[in-house]
Amino acid sequence: MLDNAMQYSHRLLSEVVQPGDCVVDATMGNGHDTLFLSDLVQSSGKVFSFDVQSQALEQTRTLFEKNQHSLDNVELIHASHDQIQKYVSQTITGAVFNLGYLPGGDKTIITHSESTIAAVQQCLAQSQIGGRTILVCYYGHPGGKEELEQLLSFVTDLDQHEFSCLRYEFINQINNPPILLCIERKK
Ligand SMILES: C[S@@+](CC[C@H](N)C(=O)[O-])C[C@H]1O[C@@H](n2cnc3c(N)ncnc32)[C@H](O)[C@@H]1O
């Protein structure tokens, strides 16, 4: 069966992220990507996870506890992802964004194109050659289509000599299935 967007994002990351690497979860939410990344980079690596809601940090701590998983290689950062460069000085091999609102949380607190694009630019600037920045774009909610349009325009305009950009989506599904964008740094 074909991967859904979340599964495909994990596949794309696991192909390039190695133990000991430094990676970013730009939208921590309930912590599922943070947990996945923490496993990928292992105890010698580091995951920097961002969210603007303290609820996300609490949910993520709870998820790690439930899984009896150490948070030692994770930094949970209560800040907007457009502050990535303030917190991350290392080269990164992977970054993931899950856009939209916190599942089970306040649906009016959503990601916005201006800060999302600023954060993506910071990830690309910190990315190792071959590193991947992945955006899983949910856009069925109010404000989602505007963010998607801005992001598609930004990613489409990236220089093909510097970046390979991929779009992955199911084109016969109803209810706005997420669109995955992957940006791989070439040089
Ligand atoms: C779709 S959820 C992420 C789901 C998450 N990947 C998971 O595994 O549960 C989007 C998250 O982005 C957060 N968010 C919104 N604006 C943000 C910003 N500027 N910086 C960081 N996080 C932001 C929301 O608070 C929300 O928790």
Amino acid identity, position 69: H
For the stretch 79-106, pLDDT in tens is 999 999 999 999 999 999 999 999 889 9
β strands within 32-126, DSSP E: 46-51, 74-78, 92-98
Query: Would you say 186 and 162 are in contact if contact means Cβ atoms under 8 Å apart?
Result: yes
Query: Would you say 24 and 95 are in contact if contact means Cβ atoms under 8 Å apart?
Result: yes
Find the domain containing 134 and state its range.
5-13+20-185
Tell me, what CATH number does 130's domain have?
3.40.50.150
pLDDT of residue 67: 98
Ligand 1 within 6 A of CB of 118: no
Ligand 1 within 6 A of CB of 102: yes
Pocket test residue of 13, 27, 35 for ligand 1, highest count of atoms within 8 A of CB: 27
**Residue 3: which pLDDT band, with cuts at 50, 70 and 90?**
very high
Distance 185 CA to ligand 1 centre (A): 24
Best CA proximity match to 79, nearest among 28, 44, 6 = 28
For the stretch 35-66, pLDDT in tens is 999 999 999 999 999 999 999 999 999 999 99
Mean pLDDT of the chain: 97
Measured CA to CA, the distance from residue 59 to residue 66 in angstroms comes to: 10
Percent of the chain's residues with pLDDT above 70: 100
SS3 156: helix
Distance of CA 127 to the CA centre of its chain: 13
The average pLDDT across 23-44 equals 98
Best CA proximity match to 178, nearest among 148, 142, 133 = 148
Ligand 1 within 6 A of CB of 122: no
Query: Would you say 47 and 73 are in contact if contact means Cβ atoms under 8 Å apart?
Result: yes
Question: Which tokens hold the place of 169?
Answer: 């989506």
Distance 116 CA to ligand 1 centre (A): 10
SS3 110: strand
Strand partners, 52: none
Q: Ligand 1: which residue has its CA nearest to atom 22?
A: 51
For the stretch 119-177, pLDDT in tens is 999 999 999 999 999 999 999 999 999 999 999 999 999 999 999 999 999 999 999 99
Best CA proximity match to 29, nearest among 116, 133, 95, 109 = 109
Number of separate domains in the chain:
1
Distance 35 CA to ligand 1 centre (A): 15
pLDDT of residue 114: 98
Measured CA to CA, the distance from residue 45 to residue 14 in angstroms comes to: 14
Measured CA to CA, the distance from residue 187 to residue 185 in angstroms comes to: 6
Query: Would you say 87 and 79 are in contact if contact means Cβ atoms under 8 Å apart?
Result: yes
pLDDT of residue 121: 98
